Structures are given as C-alpha cells and as structure tokens.
C-alpha cells in the first residue's frame, strides 16, 4: 500500500523547522537516533517523523501541532504503522496529540486483532541547575570498560542480583552484553557494584541520562542521589544539559530527579497494544 512516509537519512527539511528545533519533548531521542543504526527514520517531509526500531516494538513519533486534530494525517500515521508489521507496538508520542491519535489507532488496531491499552507514561525532565556536590568516601564511581574482565564481573553480578526484580529469566547473557555495550558508570564499594547509571543520546546541546539503578538492599541510603550528582556533573563538564525520561508514576525516581535539580518539562504519552482475547 502506498504511503506518504519515506525513509530518510536525517537530512530532511523538517529537522530545520522552527517547531521541531524548539520542541524538546522528543528531540533527544530522535536527534540521537539520526546518528545510530538502531532505528530507521521516516518522514512525510512536512509535519511528522517516525522512528521504527530494527528490533523490538518501541516506536517514537514526533508531530507538529498542525496535525493534532487533522484526522486524515493521523490516519496516514496509523496506516503506516500497521504496514510495518511490528507485533504489539508500544508507541510514544506527544501528549497534545494523544487523544485523537489513540482513538483512531484503537479503531485501526481492531482490524489487526489488537486491543489498545494506553496510559500516560513518561515525564520529560530537563536539568536547570549548576554543578552538584559529590561525596565518595570508601567507594568509587568508574566508567565500565567491556574489555576489562573485572568490570564484566561487576556488571554480571549486579544484574544477577536484580534478575528477579527485572524479570530477566531468559537471554540473561544477551541482556548483560547489551548493558556492557552502553555508556555505563558504576558505583563500586568493597569490590561490589551497588548502583549504576547509563547515559546516551548525545546531541549538540543535550546528553540523555537513560537510567539509574540501585541494588534493592542498598536503596534509601543516598547512593542513587550520589550517582545522579556524579553523572549530572559529567554532562555539565561537556558544556551540555542533562535530560531524561522517566515513568511519571515512579514516585521514587521522580523524587530523586526533583531533588537533584531536574524539572518537569512535558509529558509523553504511551500507547500499548495487546492481542484481543
């Protein structure tokens, strides 16, 4: 079926548009994806950019405000997503277009045997403070090197301890390797990793803090805050601004990032689909 969307390499006029440039809601994810091979980018060259993953089912959509109530163009996006063949997609998009798009996608999904289960999912947070205090007594924070056997042990042991919490019962080695391939920083004490942080999504102005994880027994001891302070300072030292996305309903994460100096900038809507029973 013909589509108004074409695969692009990022050199598209929409990226230089004023609304896109000044819309920080999805800028970091889309901008960083332009320089990786993990997503394919598609655009109508006017109002929409869609990121289709090489693997998995997580789709990101950026749309200009001009089409938030434009049924025809929103249906074009629905049709395009259906043609990708992604099984049970998870679609992230702006909150301002979510109501209209969600209704249309629910109707379209029914024809493909899906039911839509949607929820307001992510908060987009931007750091606006200065350098933060760091305290490292009896511990160290290191940059993980996947070619260092001791570092590999630290990462493997950490995720073994978190395996039940993360529900990692299958493909454990592959998931550990995935983390080793990321820009991973570890909080180490007495030869054990107690926490880690992942950064990624470099753009001209921003670096994304992707996650902070702390061992269950080590929580509420200030380790997550120390880790966050360290990473924020590293990003600031690059003359860039930290940005992150986190689940709005995760009170612990929202509290940590607020304490560190992040503020809520906007919200991202998540549309989930599942098979009809």
In this structure, the answer to whether residues 62 and 160 fall within a common structural domain is: no
Least confident window among 17-31, 96-110, 154-168, 185-199:
17-31
Where does the pLDDT of residue 13 fall: very low under 50, low under 70, confident under 90, or very high at 90 and above? Answer: confident
Q: Please tell me whether residues 118 and 144 are part of one structural domain.
A: no
Domain interval for residue 164: 140-260
Cβ pair 206, 240 in contact under 8 A: yes
> Is it the case that residue 2 has pLDDT exceeding 50?
no
pLDDT tier at 1 (50, 70, 90 boundaries)?
A: very low
Are 116 and 205 within one domain?
no
- For residues 34 and 61, state if they share a domain: yes
Least Cα distance to 214 among 198, 191, 190 occurs for 198
CA distance 193 to 144: 11
Least confident of 47-51, 106-110, 159-163, 268-272: 106-110
The pLDDT assigned to 256 comes to 93
pLDDT value at 260 more than 70: yes
* 160 lies in the same domain as 221: yes
Measured CA to CA, the distance from residue 173 to residue 105 in angstroms comes to 36
Determine what percent of the chain is predicted with pLDDT higher than 90: 40
The partner residues of 63 in beta bridges, in order of sequence, read: 48
Q: Check whether residue 232 and residue 188 sit in a common domain.
A: yes
Q: Tell me, what's the pLDDT at 96?
A: 82
Whether 120 has a pLDDT exceeding 90, the answer reads: no
Kindly write down the DSSP assignment for every residue of 42-101, as one continuous string.
Answer: EE-SSSEEEEEESSSSEEEEEE-GGGTT-HHHHHHHHHHHHHHT-SS-EEEEEHHHHHHH
Q: How far is CA 61 from the centre of its chain?
A: 13
144 with 118, same domain?
Answer: no
Query: Is there a domain that residue 248 lies in?
Result: yes
pLDDT score of 89 more than 90: no
Tell me if 245 sits within 8 A of 125, measured CB to CB.
yes
Determine, yes or no, domain membership for 130. no
Q: Per the domain annotation, does 133 fall within a domain?
A: no
Residue 247, classed as helix, strand or coil, is strand
Any residues with CB less than 8 A from the CB of 105 and at least 6 apart, and which?
A: 78, 81, 91, 116, 271
Is 187 in a helix, a strand, or coil? strand
Domain count for the chain, please give it: 2
Q: What confidence score (pLDDT) does residue 100 get?
A: 86
62-83 mean pLDDT = 89
CATH of the domain at 239: 3.40.630.30
State the average pLDDT over residues 87-93.
87
Enter the pTM of the model. 0.79
User: Among the listed ranges 201-210, 222-231, 260-269, which one has the minimum average pLDDT value?
Assistant: 201-210
Residues 77 and 172 grouped into a single domain: no
Q: pLDDT averaged over the chain?
A: 86
Please give the average per-residue pLDDT across 130-134, as a whole number: 89
* Banded pLDDT at 202 (limits 50, 70, 90): confident
If asked whether residues 113 and 154 sit together in one domain, one would say: no
Q: How far apart are CA 97 and CA 63, in angstroms?
A: 8
pLDDT at 144 over 60: yes
CA distance 58 to 164: 23
Q: Residue 165 falls within a domain, yes or no? A: yes
Classify residue 177: in a domain, yes or no.
Answer: yes
Instruction: Quote the pLDDT of residue 216.
Output: 92
1 belongs to a structural domain: no
- Could you tell me which residue, 194 or 271, shows the higher pLDDT? 194
> Residue 207's closest CA among 241, 175, 237?
241
């Amino acid at each position: 079926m013909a589509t108004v969307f074409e695969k692009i390499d990022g050199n598209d006029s929409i990226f230089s548009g004023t609304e896109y440039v000044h819309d920080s809601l999805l800028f970091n994810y889309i901008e960083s994806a332009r320089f990786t091979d993990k997503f394919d980018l598609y655009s109508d060259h006017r109002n929409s950019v869609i990121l289709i993953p090489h693997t998995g089912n997580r789709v990101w959509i950026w749309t200009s405000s001009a089409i938030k109530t434009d049924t025809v163009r929103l249906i074009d996006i629905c049709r395009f997503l259906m043609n990708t063949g992604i099984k049970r997609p998870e679609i992230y998009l702006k909150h301002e277009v979510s109501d209209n798009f969600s209704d249309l996608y629910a109707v379209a999904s029914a024809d493909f045997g899906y039911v839509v289960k949607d929820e307001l999912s992510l908060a987009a947070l931007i750091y606006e403070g200065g350098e933060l205090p760091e305290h490292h007594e009896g511990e160290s924070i290191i940059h993980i090197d996947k070619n260092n056997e001791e570092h590999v042990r630290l990462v493997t042991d950490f995720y073994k301890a978190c395996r039940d919490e993360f529900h990692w019962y299958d493909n454990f080695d592959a998931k550990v390797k995935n983390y080793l391939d990321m820009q991973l920083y570890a909080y180490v004490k007495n030869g054990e990793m107690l926490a880690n942080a992942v950064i990624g999504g470099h753009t001209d102005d921003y670096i994304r803090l992707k996650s902070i994880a702390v061992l269950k027994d080590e929580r509420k001891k200030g380790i997550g805050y120390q880790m966050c302070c360290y990473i924020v300072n590293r990003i600031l030292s690059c003359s860039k601004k930290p940005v992150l996305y986190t689940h709005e309903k995760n009170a612990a994460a929202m509290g940590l990032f607020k304490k560190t100096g992040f503020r809520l900038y906007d919200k991202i809507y998540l549309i989930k689909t599942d098979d009809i029973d």
